[in-house]
Amino acid sequence: MDNVGLFFSVLNLNGRFWALDKLMVFGTISLIYLTFLLVFVLAVKGGTKEKKALLLIILGLPISFLLIKVIHLFLFENRPFVTFHFIPIVAEAADSASFPSRHATIAAVLAFAYTYFKSKWSALLLFLMLWIGISRIYVGVHYPLDILGGFITAVASLVIALAIGKILEKLFLKI
């Protein structure tokens, strides 16, 4: 199945199940903020792994935003509701780029940072990342490849952040 076919397979589920619609709208609008809150609470209450993950996130997020801006210089994909002329379940700017998904990128930076440091919270954050990504398709504001592109952008930003972290460590922790 291609990107558009998979998009419509997921999109066509909306409106059939009231509870699923509510969960997906929550996943699209509010879940990213609760995930941020969870990450900060875990950094305060958690162990060393969670604190290291937060530092990686703090370095990785600006890099991911920069990567998204660079991608937009070379590629602009209209959102599905613009291309196919329908009203999505949630309001989203029609003039903003669809690829890659910023929400998916942010959620993936958070989840993959925890996964990198093997935190016991990794599974929960990966689940939240997938929920956020799928919900963005479900409500009609992203294609599946936008979500996958967001996940890949997150990985690239964390790889760059880790490399920068190693350079900073060598510069500032010389003995």
pLDDT of residue 175: 54
pLDDT digits (tens, 9 = 90+) for 80-127: 999 999 999 998 998 999 999 999 999 999 999 999 999 999 999 999
pTM: 0.94
Mean per-residue pLDDT of the chain: 95
Two structure tokens written together for 172: 């500032």
Look-up: residue for tokens 């801006």? 69
Q: What is the C-alpha to C-alpha distance for residues 159 and 108, in angstroms, rounded to an integer?
A: 13
Cα separation, 81 vs 133, in Å, equals 17
Q: What confidence score (pLDDT) does residue 174 get?
A: 66
Asked whether the CA dihedral 24, 133, 104, 79 is positive or negative, the reply is: negative
pLDDT of 172 reads 82
Domains of the chain: 3-172 (1.20.144.10)
Residue 74: CB atoms within 10 A of its CB come to 6
By percentage, how much of the chain surpasses pLDDT 70? 99
Query: Using one digit for the tens of pLDDT, what is the confidence trace for 118-175?
Result: 999 999 999 999 999 999 999 999 999 999 999 999 999 999 999 999 998 888 876 5
Report the distance separating Cα 135 and Cα 142, nearest Å.
Answer: 9
Shortest CA distance to 88 belongs to which of 97, 96, 79, 78?
Answer: 79
Higher pLDDT, 37 or 1: 37
